Structure 1
Amino acid sequence: MRIEHDDRVRTAAPAPTHVLVVGASASGLTTVEALRRKGYGGAITVLGDEASPPYDRPPLSKQILAGDWEPDRATLRTQDVLSALEARFVLGDRADSLDLATRTVRTRSGRVLEADTIVVATGVRARTLPGQEDLVGVHVLRTLDDSLALRKDLLAASRLVVVGEGVLGSEIAATARKLGLDVTLTGPLAAPMAQQVGPLVSGMLAELHTEQGVRLRLGSAVAGLTAEAGRVTGVALGTGEVLPADVVVVAIGAIPATDWLADSGLELDNGVVCDSWCRAGEGVYAVGDVARWHHEHLGGLVRLENRTNATEQAMAVAAGILGEERPYRPVPYFWTDQYDAKLQVHGFLPVGAEVDVVEGELTARRFVVRYRVDGRVTGVLGWNMPKQARLRRQEVVDALGTAPAPTH
């Protein structure tokens, strides 16, 4: 694909008569809503592989898993609001293939859906460990059904091992402790979220989890799962240690859901590769976790797995479909809640960045830290200081506007 670099609004073709959104996700729904807000009156079809209407994913590892929310509270819109969009929702049917020349999607059930413009919003699927599908008591957490199934097992268990020390694994460990389980968190890195926030903050997260009673078995690779009579009994580490478990959650990252596009002719490389305007091909866009697009301020391809990007990128894609195309150049943002700690991250936090405290105190666990590479700000992180972190975001905006920033 030819990548163009131009800050000006591009002149696009006339608005399509039919837009097909593949993926009834937050990014897919936001694309539909943004099109309607901008006055698009053509036909819209939304194809989703889950039977549930679009719902929010961040609560799955927290409020839904803890039982603080009923499942329907995670639903993004009521049925009346969805009906008012005048879009056709085809749920419970998975996309199977895309014919790029005719812009035709065939589904697992045999449906044939054609459109002038297609938006790929299929997200990601959870990575798994070899053999885990054959064992009772082993879970991943990606969908609402995953969360409800895991909660059911946790309520009947006493020992949980979480494999994966990233954001999701850390959140699940915190929620399980709230439910009273004996929790062990394991993974190859030295501390929870070490890859996402660096050694200073991840070290503080390690202290927090330890104080809350989580056993940390970090810094060792997982060799596999142990089982008896088809049910998981523990997690074997590369050191030879076995962590006993009634339930195991595997939270070792995600893979872009692009298998159905293998023969489409689109460029696939850790996601659907797009230009600066999130276009993957003629009449085809990608949005959300599955999209890997050219970020002009970073000078390379970026794929973000967070809720904020799902919304912002969807609005940019909707504008592009209607001829208001501008390069999509966001300042990334994500958050995580664990126990009483609320972390907000603006920008990029590269491994090896210089970190300094610019607001608050580390000892009070209420602070903002700034991340810099070669003296230039790349990101800020707030721990229980959301307002101050948001204000410091401007430093990231200013830096991104002047030079490419390093990525993870």
Structure 2
Amino acid sequence: MSSSFLRTAFILGLLSAIGPFAIDMYLPALPTIAADFQVSTAAVQMSLQIFFLAVALGQLVVGPLSDMYGRKAPLYFGLALFALGSVGAALAPSVEWLNVFRFIQGLGACAGMVVPRAIVRDLHTGNDAAKLMSLLMLVFSVSPILAPLTGSFVIESFGWRAVFWVVMGAALLAMLMVFFKLNETRPAEQRVGSTMSSAVGNYAFLLRDRYFLGVSFMGGFGVASFFTYLATSSFVLIEHYGLSPTVYSMFFAINAIAFIGSSQFTATLAKRFGMKQVVRVAVTGYALTMVTMLVVFAAGVDRLDVLAAMLFVGYGFLGLVIPASSVLALDDHGTRAGTASALMGTLHLVSGVVAILVVSLFFNNTPLPMVAGIAGCSVISFVLAQITLRRQPVIAQAAAE
């Protein structure tokens, strides 16, 4: 594995982690923010939903722009906007203003989420793409391990507002890395014909591609289960189980380690058994684990160790599903990689926002609503896998005909 391959994976992983870092780092502060602004749990959770919504909407514009103007220009603009939103969030006088600046932050963060996936597709397909995507996720997954721990230290030492000054600094550092270390992978000759009009046509094409939609939503509801955990875990673990913010952060990191560790086997397993077979087995294990967890908690078991063990196993399976499903979705869309990556990312985030909204209707600071939401998402992913992976992509069908 060349040094340039590793360097690219490292930079793309860090860019992808900027947005999630802004989420994971302030999770331990959600109860504190609610108390500081004297608002309900739901009002503070809205700042998560607004961030996700902004990322989902922003990707639909940033993806085509990265096809039209290259991959680096949208990254510069997105990171600058993210830094601006971070300053506003740090100075927010109320939860309403916090939500406004979280929306701006989310619009900026979407570039770091959609463009790296397009760069992976620019450079590689198949198993090589899976290998790069897995390494990208290795770096990206440092966020849910280190961010809550860093966040809990920053919050306890300097207050929750300091979190946003830290993520602003991370965005500025990322801009320097893009300028000095990242090569443009969408040269000018490949941008010819890429316009907003062609982007609309590409979106129309992708929305008719049931294989693309099925694979994207399959990964999307896997992501949604993690979003459900993001939005509710601090209240369950800190307020229900009585963990300190620091111990909560360690608990949170355990699940990220499971996800990271398993994702590194994606390319190896795909090379031996095929990408689709890996996804089929992984999504089955993921759904079985999460449904078993729901049955256990619905039966009256309310134990932190049981929750930790089941989430560890379930998110281990999910670590194989996400990178493999992303490669399957983008493999046949090299000429529209930015647009396809944007639509896939938007579908992921829309799934996550819907899941959070549904769970928030029933959330009562106990584990059962959270567990039910996670299990529900896993079942939807499983069903979509059974339906979708029997099909061929639209482009593959056309070639066969």
The TM-score, its normalising length taken from structure 1, stands at: 0.26
Higher strand share: 1
Higher gyration radius (CA): 1
Higher relative contact order (Cα pairs below 8 Å, separated by 6+ residues): 2
The TM-score, its normalising length taken from structure 2, stands at: 0.27
Higher helix share: 2
